Structure 1
Amino acid sequence: MKEIFKLSYLIAIVLFLTISCKDERKKTEKVLTQEATEEFNVIGNYVSEDYSKRSEGYDWVSVAITEANNNQLNISIRSRADKKKPTCTFDAVAKKVDDKVYQTQINGKSILFEFTNAQISISAEKEEHESLLYFYCSGGASIAGTYQKINEQMDQNQIDKTKFNSVLNLQDVGFSVSSIEKDGKNTLTISTFGLQESEYNQTFIIDGKEVTNAEVEDLNSDGSPELFVFTRSVGSGSYGKVYAFSVNNKKSMSEIYFQPTSENSVINKGYMGHDEFSLVENTLGQRFPIYKEGDTNAAPTGGTRQVSYKLVDGEAMRKLKVDKITEY
């Protein structure tokens, strides 16, 4: 009887230890999973080392990361601007390489954004392309380096108020695209450099909108580039708009007509915003969800409509004409 009791006691001890080990292992796995999730939550604000000394007058640079569509990130680099002109200004959309690495292409050169331990490191993919990282800064500075994540907004009293900034080049023509909020108004300024007869310099009031991206391409293969600036309305609708421009034989630049989607009966059935635009080979691509009657803004049920536009000559100006429509 005593032997049976001892055996039962030993079995109970073994079972208790086994269950305890499993519980501890599950707890450990849960903690590791949480840490991994936290480690790769790349969205947020990152700052250079001297941010902590900003009250002493030190210059600093910030990197704001927000989520974009299709496994992409919006990268926005800004610097201190309360005492002097901003040191660094850079905007780009970066595509996902893996959980830790994103990249963007600038004039055929890759810039890498690597995330580890609540940090982001910015570098050129190839050593010979490092000079590109100096282009977006003044005074010999570079956007390259490692930035530490913070859990609050950047110092709004010091940070550069530029909303968007990009410099693009194609076929020996350059474009500067910038958006800044000033005197209570949000503006979009577009200027050229390298045109042979008349440079373009125009500012548009875009209150209620934000610039999401800018791209260049020679859509009609005439040897001169086209510029496209994409905006969206601020709010739940996120209605997209295209500002398009065509360079005329590298001498001047003029606007291209793009009919607002809400006014285009060919494609606007079920349209309620949430546009995405991009250049695909020699076409402008647009994609948006289709809403059925009774759908809420947050829950479309009609699938997706994809539209491609060709650049054609019009009577007064060039225009973007619907070429293909696909629904899925």
Structure 2
Amino acid sequence: MIKNTLILALAISVAACQDEPEATKSAQMPAKANTVEDAKTKPVPSAFNPAGNYVSGEYHKRDQGYDWMAVQVSQSGPEQINVSIRSRIDRKRPTCTYTDTAQRLSDTRYKAETQGTAILFDFNEQGIEINTEQPEAEGMLNFFCSGGGSIKGGYSKLSEPLDNSQLDQSIFNKTMVLQGIGFNVTSFKGEGENRLTIAPFGLSISNEAVSHGINGRVVGAEIEDLNSDGSPELLVFTQSDGSGSYGEVIGYSVNNKKSMSQIYFQPVTEQPKISAGYMGHDEFAIVETSLVQRFPVYGESDTNAGQTKKMRQVQYKLVDGEATRRFVIDKVVELDLPQ
């Protein structure tokens, strides 16, 4: 599954990658540029912070029984944000539910890909506008809602704390289907740790849900047939709380469409080949049939919150192990960041 058609933009613009074979270039992380011309322009640090809570107009009439929606936006990396859309749930089942990661195109525009459709998030000081890149595809925005609703439209930014007493309390909720097999991925805030639940459907032997305690929050989930065996893999990306924002991958591989088993992903800190200068702030994506991870590389005197000069990009392949499938490093690339 190719989520972004121009995922090469960042890598092509970096001289360190110019001498690599085509196979390496094909597995670069999604970049913020969405045209070839954009890729020629050096990215600049964003002067606009999109993080915050945004609400539909009905929010201010919530005490009168009106249905309403909230868009909660948080920064998950230098070039991406998490977007969570939830609706009122206290009087009926939630009308709309959406969770995804969006890549930065400019200071005020971000883009997410869902089932081949590009969803745009346009920000300004007053609020956010949600639409599709192609007008004829805007029907996709109804996919996340019941009863004919849609996440399309404008939402105003709140200056005061969000009243979430009526709101769907799931902090992540996403359903994905591939090759006739699907997964519902949900996460709720818990005491001491958050809880992740993965509920498969379509498996011929066992569709039993699995649950994990996680340190932090889910920031994304993707599905793809990574080993090209006719059955999909599910990857859930998490990020720890705090300044480090350390990433983790929780993955499951489907066995001949009958059952699923967990994939082993070794933490960066346990891999000497890539751990030097690592201080978190991971970003993950599936590119073609590879898992790609990238993170800033820090010097000995650098602070965790400071700017760095390099980004390390690691490409993993899924292989069969003795007891379970696991990810192994395939390629490592050092990317120079513009200063």
- If the length of structure 1 is used for normalisation, what is the TM-score? 0.79
The 1:40/1:240 distance shift into structure 2, 3 A limit, reads closer
The structure 1 residue matched to 2:267, chosen from 250, 260, 263, is 260
The letter for the 2-side match of 1:210 is R
Note the C-alpha offset of 1:252. 1.5
Answering whether residue 128 of structure 2 is matched by residue 120 of structure 1, we say yes
The letter for the 2-side match of 1:257 is Y
Q: What corresponds to 2:230 in structure 1?
A: 223
The letter for the 2-side match of 1:139 is G
SS at match of 2:254: strand
SS at match of 1:219: coil
Residues 292 and 300 of structure 1 are in contact (CA less than 8 Å); yes or no, is this contact kept in structure 2? no
Pick the structure with more helix per residue: 1
Separation in 1, partners of 2:124, 2:304: 36
Note the C-alpha offset of 1:117. 6.9
Measured against aligned partners, the alpha-carbon deviations of 1:184-239 in whole angstroms (never above 9, x if no partner) come to: 64100111122222224111111x31111111122111121111111111001211
The structure 2 residue matched to 1:154, chosen from 139, 148, 162, is 162
Structure 2 unaligned regions, length at least 5: 1-46
Separation in 1, partners of 2:288, 2:89: 38
Separation in 1, partners of 2:115, 2:95: 22
SS at match of 1:133: helix
Q: What corresponds to 2:283 in structure 1?
A: 276
The 1:194/1:130 distance shift into structure 2, 3 A limit, reads farther
Note the C-alpha offset of 1:178. 1.0
The letter for the 2-side match of 1:247 is V
Measured against aligned partners, the alpha-carbon deviations of 1:99-155 in whole angstroms (never above 9, x if no partner) come to: 554332211122233346724332344455444322322333222232222212210
Q: What corresponds to 1:173 in structure 2?
A: 181
Residues 76 and 219 of structure 2 are in contact (CA less than 8 Å); yes or no, is this contact kept in structure 1? no
Q: What corresponds to 1:320 in structure 2?
A: 327
The letter for the 2-side match of 1:320 is F
Answering whether residue 119 of structure 2 is matched by residue 111 of structure 1, we say yes
Aligned ranges for residues 92-107 of structure 1 at < 5 Å? 92-98=100-106, 101-107=109-115
SS at match of 2:274: coil
The structure 2 residue matched to 1:50, chosen from 43, 58, 63, is 58
The structure 1 residue matched to 2:99, chosen from 91, 106, 118, is 91
Measured against aligned partners, the alpha-carbon deviations of 1:39-75 in whole angstroms (never above 9, x if no partner) come to: 9764432211211111222221011223343543322
The letter for the 2-side match of 1:161 is Q
Structure 1 unaligned regions, length at least 5: 1-38
Separation in 1, partners of 2:260, 2:254: 4
SS at match of 2:329: strand
Residues 316 and 327 of structure 2 are in contact (CA less than 8 Å); yes or no, is this contact kept in structure 1? yes
Residues 313 and 319 of structure 1 are in contact (CA less than 8 Å); yes or no, is this contact kept in structure 2? yes
Separation in 1, partners of 2:276, 2:118: 39
The letter for the 2-side match of 1:159 is L
SS at match of 1:52: helix
Separation in 1, partners of 2:298, 2:108: 35
SS at match of 1:310: strand
Residues 237 and 274 of structure 1 are in contact (CA less than 8 Å); yes or no, is this contact kept in structure 2? yes
The structure 1 residue matched to 2:257, chosen from 237, 247, 250, is 250
Answering whether residue 212 of structure 2 is matched by residue 204 of structure 1, we say yes
Separation in 2, partners of 1:293, 1:179: 36
The 1:232/1:252 distance shift into structure 2, 3 A limit, reads same
Separation in 2, partners of 1:141, 1:301: 43
The letter for the 1-side match of 2:231 is S
Note the C-alpha offset of 1:307. 1.3
Note the C-alpha offset of 1:174. 1.4
Residues 82 and 158 of structure 1 are in contact (CA less than 8 Å); yes or no, is this contact kept in structure 2? yes
SS at match of 2:189: strand
The letter for the 1-side match of 2:161 is Q
Residues 200 and 252 of structure 1 are in contact (CA less than 8 Å); yes or no, is this contact kept in structure 2? no
Note the C-alpha offset of 1:183. 5.2
The 1:195/1:128 distance shift into structure 2, 3 A limit, reads farther
Residues 193 and 216 of structure 2 are in contact (CA less than 8 Å); yes or no, is this contact kept in structure 1? no
> Which range moved further: 118-127 or 88-97?
118-127
Note the C-alpha offset of 1:300. 6.9
SS at match of 1:296: coil
Separation in 2, partners of 1:233, 1:110: 28
Q: Give RMSD over aligned pairs.
A: 2.5
Measured against aligned partners, the alpha-carbon deviations of 1:64-105 in whole angstroms (never above 9, x if no partner) come to: 223343543322111223343322211112234455543322
SS at match of 1:95: strand
The letter for the 2-side match of 1:317 is T
